[in-house]
Amino acid sequence: MGLNRKELADKSSLHLQTDVLVIGGGPAGAWAALSAAQNGARVILADKGYLGTSGATAPSNTGTWLVPPGDNRTNIVERRWQRTGNLADQRWMLRTVDQAYENLLKLAEWGYPFPDDEDGRLYIANLRGPDYMAFMRRRVLKAGVTVLDHHPAVEFYFDGEAVTGAAGVDRQRDRDWRVDAGAVVLATGGCAFHERILGAAALTGDGHLMAAEAGASLSGMEFTGKYTLAPYGSSLNKGLPFRWASFYREDGTPILDADGRPLQNGIGEREKDIARAMIEAPVYAVLDQAEPALQDWLRRGQPNCFVPYDRAPVDPFAEMFRVTFRAEGTVRGTGGIRIATSDCGTDVPALYVAGDASSREPLVGGTSGGGGPNSSWAIASGWWSGQGAAAYARRRGDTAFCTSSRPLGQAGLRPAALAKGALTPRDVIDSVRAEVIPLEKNYFREGGRLQASFDKIDSLWADVKNHLSGEGTALTRLKAREAAAIAASGRWSIVAALARTESRGMHRRSDFKTSDPALAHSITLRGVDDIVASSAEQGQREVAS
């Protein structure tokens, strides 16, 4: 049960020391590792899966938010800021686009095969996921980083003042690992609540729970109302082709909006109407607004999107196919671990955060960072966190390896009461999903329903904390910990959604339909069991215990 020093002293485990430990092998983790190594640190990157295929980017084809230097730069950022629900911070927006631009040029210099645009100039505003991440893996290995694939982290070590490393399981060798580190970058991605979407298998919020156990606060957790259309039953939560979709009922009747117009364009303003229609009855789509030239570009530019159609098979430009909205949790939602310093430090000394694990409110406010912004954010925040962690480790010297540290993991690892085998990770995840996935609960929110969801998830949390345990193999322990992290993340999301008594961005409350200027600020949560919510305006108040 759990991990302790004695077990780790055994030869069947791995115990390493390093300057910087990066947890997570998506783009943010890869950039953090490169940056820390370039700043002279010895770096270990531990990933739950495989650096190159892990994370939401690798299976995708993602735009970047590219704002080249020039006179218009401030205007572009200003215009985007106006769409963020007044929660973003233009300083962070400007420095993110600047750092991302610089690093995309580095990628080109290093030889990443970007395409040319129609004028023959290198087009760096798009990254094809599989190629990008395969390239990043080679670059990270070339920089001398030690890469531990299939080594998920499950908890931090802490010396009373600062994080001193992390421990986890080597899931393919069924053994434990521990790394003592001068500083840690957490790049574990968002929490997708076990939705079957591209890249989400590993995105279970483990990093959120680990950070919160160490005392880090979270922010923007109410912004989990982002959903994207996908062919029904598929993993392809890629909205772009639906820009050219028309929507129908099963019998071929066009679905009309409140003004009697046919519903088209699934990624625009009409998304809400489509969600409403889907709650009533199944929705079908045809990509019939795409001209032949565009059909060809879509097929060749977004080949992953066509895999489900080609294998079904169905011609999506001519035939109706059923669609669904896939929930995207905090992945295309916004919330995460709150950043406290310019170099992506958290509230916890020696702990840095990058990519979707962090709150992206400074960049996108209450709107989705899906696609371009999150991609640029992974690059920029990865770069800064690697620098910050390397500098911290240098200042700290070897003290992280000398002090006596203790492991912090609780829920799912070390139950507070007697472990009960009857409480399975699958049951826990299904119970959380019943509250945070349905459109009628989480896309359209309402105080009474949120309170009912909170009551259920709060009592579930008590069971998780007291009884959930994955005694047995490395894999069963990991599964229990993941379920605990999903439960914690769901609970934070609902607590924050109750606290934001207004509608803003992707947080839509039918009992508070408009935005309240007094709530134009972030809601910060602290604590795992006893959650304290605070905001700049209200001060602190305990909302769940």
Instruction: Provide the binding-site residues for another protein, judged by CB under 8 A.
Output: 48-50, 52-55, 58-59, 61, 63, 112-118, 123, 125-126, 128, 130-132, 134-135, 149-150, 171-172, 196-202, 231, 233-235, 240, 243, 294, 296-304, 306-308, 310-312, 475
Residue 55 Cβ vs another protein, minimum distance, rounded to whole Å: 8
Would you say 76 or 201 has its CB closer to another protein? 201
Give the whole-angstrom CA distance, residue 407 versus residue 85. Answer: 39
Residue 350 Cβ vs another protein, minimum distance, rounded to whole Å: 28
Answer for the pair 222, 531: CB distance below 8 angstroms, yes or no.
no
Answer for the pair 410, 159: CB distance below 8 angstroms, yes or no.
no
Would you say 150 or 394 has its CB closer to another protein? 150
DSSP 170-221: ETTTTEEEEEEEEEEEE----B-TT---TT-TT-BSHHHHHHHHTT-EEE-T
Would you say 87 or 140 has its CB closer to another protein? 140
Residue 120, CA distances (Å) to 53, 114, 123, 449 in order: 30, 11, 9, 54
CA 318 to chain centroid, in Å, comes to 35
Would you say 25 or 366 has its CB closer to another protein? 25
End-to-end CA distance of the chain: 26
Residue 171 Cβ vs another protein, minimum distance, rounded to whole Å: 6
Give the whole-angstrom CA distance, residue 390 versus residue 388. Answer: 6
> Which residues in 105-143 are b (16+ Cβ under 10 Å) and which e?
eebeeeebebeeeeeeeeebbbbbbeebbebbbebbeee
Would you say 299 or 414 has its CB closer to another protein? 299
> Which residues in 265-302 are b (16+ Cβ under 10 Å) and which e?
bbbeebbebbbbbbeeeebbbbbeebeeebbeebbeeb
Would you say 155 or 482 has its CB closer to another protein? 482
Residue 295 Cβ vs another protein, minimum distance, rounded to whole Å: 11
The residues pairing with 531 across neighbouring beta strands, listed in sequence order, are 544
Q: Closest Cα partner for 181 from 418, 405, 468?
A: 405
The one-letter code for the residue type at 448 is: G
Element (H, E) at 95: helix 90-110
Residue 114 Cβ vs another protein, minimum distance, rounded to whole Å: 7
The one-letter code for the residue type at 366 is: G
Residue 8 Cβ vs another protein, minimum distance, rounded to whole Å: 22
Answer for the pair 18, 46: CB distance below 8 angstroms, yes or no.
no
Answer for the pair 544, 462: CB distance below 8 angstroms, yes or no.
no
Residue 45 Cβ vs another protein, minimum distance, rounded to whole Å: 14
**Residue 393: CB partners within 8 Å, gap ≥ 6?**
19, 20, 41, 181, 182, 183, 350, 400
Residue carrying the six token digits 């929660």: 87
The residues pairing with 351 across neighbouring beta strands, listed in sequence order, are 184
Would you say 149 or 343 has its CB closer to another protein? 149
Residue 232 Cβ vs another protein, minimum distance, rounded to whole Å: 9
Q: Strand, helix or coil at 79?
A: helix
Would you say 175 or 504 has its CB closer to another protein? 175
The token duo for 362 is 């400074």
Would you say 16 or 240 has its CB closer to another protein? 240
Give the whole-angstrom CA distance, residue 238 versus residue 481. Answer: 29
Would you say 86 or 304 has its CB closer to another protein? 304
Would you say 115 or 397 has its CB closer to another protein? 115
Residue 169 Cβ vs another protein, minimum distance, rounded to whole Å: 11
Would you say 296 or 542 has its CB closer to another protein? 296
Residue 74 Cβ vs another protein, minimum distance, rounded to whole Å: 21
Would you say 61 or 246 has its CB closer to another protein? 61
Residue 305 Cβ vs another protein, minimum distance, rounded to whole Å: 10
Residue 237 Cβ vs another protein, minimum distance, rounded to whole Å: 10
Residue 182 Cβ vs another protein, minimum distance, rounded to whole Å: 28
Element (H, E) at 440: none
